[in-house]
């Protein structure tokens, strides 16, 4: 079984080659002048396709007979989790940006292009718009405003499956877990019986503040901020998602530098304590929502590599029996494993309507 996995990022594309029961992972940088000049993400398709194809040819991988091509799903309409076969409806919604613009929107499009070359099917797995939330978790104090489900679904679901099977000896669909993805953005979700029934929309600013994202903000303060600084809504969206959080408070996105200053700068120390406090408060709220009946807490993402931050989070949560740290992300593995489940008949590919 040979599988090609594609995971587009902002200036690079990660790919995975699964062959002979082994997974090889690569990172293809897109830093040439042609790419940098492209304004809209969707217009990067040709450059990314050619760069991936060139990489496969140069590394003697292009002639592999792939049984499936699988990619990270983009900002489609809200759907339940799982593996989806790429169809015209998916391609159309990715191209028009039906739920926003994101590099992941190119995933299904690139997968289909390569699938046509290899005469196989193209799939996407657990896109960031998975919506399995309880209805009561969506309702807010304004009738026409609902909480949205946008999060690191691909990595959330993969690490949850791994912990359920390998550490708890249970199926993911039989487990209740809280998964905290701590990276440039932070999303913390309650996984119950194979569904993410509550999660903060880390992409648009819900939940704890993160390395570069604002998190939840007091409405009156936000209105004053916009008026005093004459900020448009388009500028605000950029600030909330790219220029807030630790970056706004400490003028850095390097959390290792933040660690080094913790014991020498009182303001840095206060910001770090607030950062950790907001994370554990979000985790605690989901424990309450689950009536305390949680099998384990799983912490993943880039920040999970830091013993400094993990020790601080654990200090708050030392009353818990089971906390598992899964550093980094497993998006390529999640894509490959999703395709394998479909190819083996363990899971049916869903149809996007």
Edge-first strand listing for the sheet containing 296-301:
195-199, 186-192, 176-182, 296-301, 323-327
pLDDT, tens digit only, all 353 positions of the chain = 999 999 999 889 999 999 999 999 999 999 888 888 898 999 999 999 999 999 999 999 999 999 999 999 999 999 999 999 999 999 999 999 999 889 999 999 999 999 999 999 999 999 999 999 999 999 999 999 999 999 999 999 999 999 999 999 999 999 999 999 999 899 999 999 999 999 999 888 799 999 999 999 999 999 999 999 999 998 998 999 889 999 999 999 999 999 999 999 999 999 999 999 999 999 999 999 999 999 999 999 999 999 999 999 999 999 898 999 999 999 999 999 999 999 999 999 999 98
Contact 51, 110 (CB under 8 A): no
Pairing relationship of beta strands 195-199 and 121-125 according to DSSP bridges: unpaired
Rounded Cα distance between 115 and 36, Å, is: 27
3-state secondary structure of 166: helix
pLDDT in the model for residue 245: 96
- C-alpha angle with apex 236: 240 to 10, nearest 5 degrees? 55
CA distances from residue 124 to 13, 94, 150, 283, 304 in whole angstroms, order as listed: 15, 12, 16, 29, 26
Contact 303, 245 (CB under 8 A): no
Rounded Cα distance between 302 and 182, Å, is: 6
Q: How would you classify residue 216: left for phi > 0, otherwise alpha for psi between -120 and 50, otherwise beta?
A: beta
Residue 53, phi then psi, degrees to nearest 5: -60, -45
pLDDT in the model for residue 286: 97
pLDDT in the model for residue 205: 77
Q: How would you classify residue 30: left for phi > 0, otherwise alpha for psi between -120 and 50, otherwise beta?
A: beta
pLDDT in the model for residue 279: 98
Contact 47, 34 (CB under 8 A): yes
Rounded Cα distance between 137 and 251, Å, is: 34
pLDDT in the model for residue 218: 94
Rounded Cα distance between 170 and 157, Å, is: 14
Distance between alpha carbon 55 and the CA centroid of its chain, in Å? 25
CATH of segment(s) 153-328? 3.30.420.40
Instruction: Return the number of other C-beta atoms located less than 10 Å from residue 174's C-beta.
Output: 11
Domain parsing of the chain, residue ranges: 3-132+332-343, 153-328
Rounded Cα distance between 50 and 59, Å, is: 14
Instruction: Return the number of other C-beta atoms located less than 10 Å from residue 21's C-beta.
Output: 6
* Domain range 3-132+332-343, CATH architecture: 2-Layer Sandwich (3.30)
* 0.95 surpassed by pTM: no
5 DSSP β-pair partners: 16, 70
Rounded Cα distance between 234 and 100, Å, is: 13
Question: What digits encode the pLDDT tens for the residues 235-274?
Answer: 998 999 889 999 999 999 999 999 999 999 999 999 999 9
pLDDT in the model for residue 281: 98
Rounded Cα distance between 269 and 353, Å, is: 49
């Amino acid at each position: 079984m040979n599988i090609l996995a594609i995971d587009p990022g902002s200036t690079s594309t990660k790919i995975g080659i699964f062959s002979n029961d082994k997974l090889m992972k690569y990172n293809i940088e897109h830093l040439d002048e042609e790419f940098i000049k492209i304004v809209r993400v969707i217009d990067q398709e040709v450059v990314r396709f050619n760069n991936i194809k060139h990489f496969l040819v140069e590394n003697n991988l292009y002639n592999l007979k792939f049984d499936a091509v699988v990619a990270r799903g983009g900002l489609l309409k809200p759907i339940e989790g799982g593996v989806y076969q790429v169809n015209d409806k998916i391609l159309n919604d990715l191209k028009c940006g039906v739920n926003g613009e994101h590099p992941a929107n190119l995933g299904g499009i690139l997968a289909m292009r390569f699938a046509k070359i290899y005469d196989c099917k193209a799939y996407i797995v657990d896109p960031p718009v998975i919506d399995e939330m309880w209805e009561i978790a969506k309702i807010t104090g304004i009738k026409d405003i609902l909480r949205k489900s946008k999060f690191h679904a691909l990595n959330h679901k993969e690490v949850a499956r791994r912990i359920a099977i390998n550490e708890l000896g249970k199926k993911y669909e039989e487990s209740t877990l809280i998964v905290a993805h701590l990276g440039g953005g932070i999303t913390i979700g309650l996984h119950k019986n194979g569904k993410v029934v509550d999660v903060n929309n880390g992409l648009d600013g819900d939940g704890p503040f993160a390395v570069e994202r604002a998190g939840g903000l007091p409405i009156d303060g936000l209105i004053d901020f916009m008026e005093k600084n004459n900020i448009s809504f388009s500028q605000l969206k950029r600030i909330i998602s790219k220029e807030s959080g630790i970056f706004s408070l400490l003028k850095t996105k390097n959390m290792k530098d933040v660690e080094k200053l913790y014991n020498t700068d009182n303001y840095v120390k206060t910001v770090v304590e607030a950062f950790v406090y907001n994370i554990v408060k979000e985790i605690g709220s989901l424990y309450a929502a689950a009536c305390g009946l949680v099998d384990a807490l799983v912490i993943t993402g880039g920040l999970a590599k830091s013993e400094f931050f993990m020790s601080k989070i654990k200090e708050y949560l030392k009353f818990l029996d089971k906390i598992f740290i899964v550093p980094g992300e497993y998006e390529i593995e999640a894509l490959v494993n999703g395709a394998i489940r479909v190819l083996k008949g363990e899971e049916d590919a869903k149809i996007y309507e």
